[in-house]
Amino acid sequence: MSEKSDFKWGPATGVGSMPGGDAREAAKTVVGSFEGPETGIPFLAELPARGPGADMIGRTAGLLVDLYARVEPSGWRIGDRPGRDTKRARSWLGEDLDALEEFTQGYEGPLKVQAVGPWTLAAALELRNGEAALSDPGACRDLAGSLAEGLRAHLADVRRRVPGAQVVLQLDEPSLIAVLRGQVKTASEYRTHRSVDRQVVEGALRDVLGVAADVTGGPTVVHSCAPDVPFALLRRAGADAISFDFSLLTERDDDAIGEAVEGGVTLFAGVVPGVDGPLSDPAGSVMGVRTLWRRLGLNPGSLAESVVITPSCGLAGASPAYARTALAHCARAARSLADNPE
């Protein structure tokens, strides 16, 4: 049964990564900051400071089915069998899930989990010859299929651990624009891999996002903290929400954003800095969102339903104290937006 029909987004959330290496502390912070639909969407924290296997690529590589990766001096490389790096990635994910389960006892509401999307994974994972999987269309297909199967098991596990949750899948695709534009460098760094056809990109994303509908019936998010987010392509691929760094928007994005919102897509607006620094008052943080809405000629009353407030990107590079402050600030800024949409 689909959960989308009665799904209510929380007003704020985080992107995914958090500082430090203590899984229980991270889960406690995240769940304490966002306790459900009224305050925001708690999420499964990622702690890359622990090292290889806890990083974005290694963590997702650990989810793959019948494909394994190991760390080489040049990065993550696909291998024949699970080794120490795969086992470490799976162990840390298990630790994070245990911590999340502990702090979400009795929880009911949206709960977000993140994984690297098929195209950023293809740009980052190396084949045995040292070139990115992106160089081989067959490898890209295998990778997307393996990722889909891995996410199927992962989402089912999260749902079992937190039975009251409406599970949201977020795919992180920071390299998507580079893949579409042929800007991913070869191993020699003298050339770039050719661009991938937009329909092929869209199809793989649709297949992987479709796993969420099969397993949880819940909605999906695609996150990209790069400039020129392809809003129209992501909407066609089936993303229910698009997450981005608000400071990178230009007026060139207006038409695509307007069409996405009118098509029912929720915007995850990254307006709170992801690294330590002074924060404006909550109303000031969302001033740009109000301005965008006026520029697009959209109804201010729809702001609270159409926008979720987030940090501009992950918080792995922040101090623990700032990370806590930033998440709380997202919730306050979202409340300001809802109370005073104009």
Residue 80 is predicted with a pLDDT of 84
pLDDT band at 341 (very low <50, low <70, confident <90, very high): confident
pTM across the whole model? 0.95
pLDDT at 1: 36
In this predicted structure, what is the pLDDT of residue 2?
Answer: 45
pLDDT at 83: 87
In the predicted model, what is the mean pLDDT of residues 98-121?
97
Average pLDDT, the chain: 94
Where residue 7 falls among pLDDT bands split at 50, 70, 90? confident
Give the model confidence (pLDDT) of 73-102 as tens digits. Answer: 999 999 888 889 999 999 999 999 999 999
Q: How confident is the model at residue 61 (pLDDT cuts 50, 70, 90)?
A: very high
Q: How far apart are CA 128 and CA 75, in angstroms?
A: 12
Q: What integer is the mean pLDDT of 232-236?
A: 96
Q: Please tell me the least confidently modeled range out of 54-58, 67-71, 337-341.
A: 337-341
- For residues 100 and 5, the model is more confident at 100
pLDDT 10s digits, 157-189: 999 999 999 999 999 999 999 999 999 999 888
